[in-house]
Amino acid sequence: MMKLAMENNLSETAFIVKEPQEYHLRWFTPGTEVELCGHATLASSFVIMNYYDPNSSEVHFHTLSGELIVHRKDNLYEMNFPTYELREIPVTDEMEGAFGVKPMKAILGLDLICVFENEDIVRNMQPDQELLMGIEGRIQNVTAAGRETDCVSRSFAPKLAVFEDPVCGSSHCQIADYWSNELGKREIDAYQASKRGGYLHCEMIGNGRIAISGKATVVAVSEILVKL
């Protein structure tokens, strides 16, 4: 699986195995296995509910993050994910050096969340990938309040051999949680401002869980022919 993920060279490759009552799901970046990946979970549920079990409206996955459940709601796929304990940490010179702009605030959970003054800073940022390797977090996220959405964010993951994640669900388990507390809103509409970009609808549902909804699109149907 690691070799296939390296060959694909995408931010994550998902591997699914059918079990009696659910599916076993694992995720790999080109550099390592990860414990949670949102957009690869959404893609996996899309494949199952459209190609293998088209009559189903719900999929249960057994993963390193426990049981994950995905519901189909019209053309959206809603994922039920765990949140993470977040704590504010000092903004450092290393963070400013890595991002090229000093964050207003830094929050640490599983990943680092650096908050900036406005979304233009986030959209135009060109961080130093080598310097990102030296600061906190599995993934280094940058975010700001949005003009048309509640927040705008980007996710960089050089520690996982990923330059930039196009739309990161696991990071939004933390980003949406942060903005929910900041804005006093249970539901957060988020935009990931990567080159590909994507919208996420996030809802805090209590008991340390978050529902994240998004759309999926088939890009290719392929066969693996090479022996690795």
Q: Produce one character per residue of 136-151: b if its CB has 16 or more CB atoms within 10 Å, e if not.
A: ebbbbbbbbbbeebbb
Contact by Cβ (8 Å): 151, 132:
no
Best CA proximity match to 140, nearest among 160, 120, 119, 123: 160
Best CA proximity match to 209, nearest among 47, 119, 78, 31: 78
Contact by Cβ (8 Å): 198, 155:
no
Catalytic residue of the set 7, 12, 136, 187: 12
| Catalytic residue flag (residue 96) | no
| Residues annotated as part of the active site | 12
